[in-house]
Amino acid sequence: MEWKKNDVFQVTITDMGSDGEGIGKIDGYTIFVKDAVIGDVVTAKIMKAKKNYAYARLEKVETPSPFRIQPKCKFARSCGGCQLQALAYEKQLQFKNRKVKNNLMRIGGFSEALLNEITEEPVGMEEPFHYRNKAQFPFGYDKEGNVITGFYAGRTHSIISNTDCALGVPENKQILEMILSFMKEENIPAYREETGTGLLRHALIRKGFFTGQIMVCLVINGEKLPAAEKLTDRLKTIEGMTSISVCINKERTNVIMGTDIRLLWGKERIEDKIGNLTFSISPLSFFQVNPVQTQRIYSQALQYASLTGNETVWDLYCGIGTISLFLAQQAKQVYGVEIIPQAIEDAVANAEKNGIKNAEFFVGRAEEVLPQKYESEGIYADVIVVDPPRKGCDEQCLATMLKMQPKRIVYVSCDSATLARDATFLCENGYELKKVRAFDNFPQSGHVETVCLLSRK
């Protein structure tokens, strides 16, 4: 049978894809059904048909899976943020662990027997909601012309009106409702993407989980926010409010933040802790959004690094120095490399704030800084820790790592597909995969973090 658009059929969901979509098969033909979970029997309608597979829309759950649960948020299906809210949390962890394993087998060519032996239990959360310490809320209009804020519907830029996201902190609702009522009273227009007009684009809200400090930064398409004092007077009544600022962004772009930040009230930065280290965070700082799991990931990286106090450690793609400073507590010397100059300024300030003297930071591409420091200055590495972006490590960077021959490489990954590719390259050139562990940094979504240990043969 040849499948085509708008065909309606019934199928049992037997697996899940990398983004958490249900997968069913009819006579060997694979069908991906968003919002279906493993074990469901569903009626679905084909939206796009290819020769060997199709994408379909869930029309009705005929027989719910034993693992299907009622989502906490009524927008779970339409919003782009949570792909797995209808799946029991224990099953979410199994799905993510399997995703990491499958990528290491399929892309990396590692054997199932090896992975069964070296893969540790996935690390989930006791409370898999309200874990995000940062959120960015776009402003716009509903069909009736009312100002709204919330999140973009999946794969679109149309806003679902929701001030109370189940993944964010409870203060978000109070802050957003204050901003919305202020906009109505003062007639402040929301930004319209299609015309580039209007003023208020986004609200960035951050909260220090261990300090309780809150930051609000309003992104505006103009030079100033009218009646700003009236809004700050309201916002500063919220317990923990520490920093209120505006960020000027007049570009016609999807990039949320501009670089010009102007303080309206309070301090320019907030602080938070990971373990016993304190970090200073500006509106533009990159800081892990799930502080509870981040501490667990860094503790695992430290454990895999097996530091005795005599090692020289390189931390590549070091950001604001979070992992570097964690490692510096047990290493002889740590060198961090990061391409973003502002992040390195933060890293230096964070080292100073925590009284850490054995960490040094360099601005530049890891694949350029590393060879230069190794070849011209003879700085070697006992341990290298990498925490690259989704695209993984640059080949030149991997080649220099191999040249430096560290005893151990600890790879922290936010994309197990590129991790699998890079781990294979390292294992074809003198290393072996020793430990793998998945961490659920983003419960309810399809994302998974992984920490791996590779040792020199």
Question: CA 52: distance to chain centroid?
Answer: 32
The β-bridge relationship of strands 147-152 and 200-207 is: unpaired
* Angstrom distance (rounded) from CA 443 to CA 150: 19
165 among known catalytic residues: no
Inter-residue contact 387 to 323 (CB < 8 Å): yes
Residues 6+ apart with CB under 8 A from 38: 13, 14, 15, 16, 22, 65, 67, 87, 91, 95
**Active-site residue, from 247, 414, 427, 452:** 414
Strands (E), 144-221: 147-152, 159-161, 200-207, 214-220
Here the tokens at position 159 are: 């806003």
Tokens of 27: 């006579």
Q: How many other C-beta atoms can be found within 10 angstroms of the C-beta atom of residue 58?
A: 18
The bridge status of strand 333-338 relative to strand 312-316 is parallel
Rounded CA gap, 150 and 430, in Å? Answer: 49
Whether the CB-CB separation of 389 and 346 falls below 8 Å is answered with no
Quote the CA–CA distance of 18 and 33 in Å, as a whole number. 12
Active site residues: 414
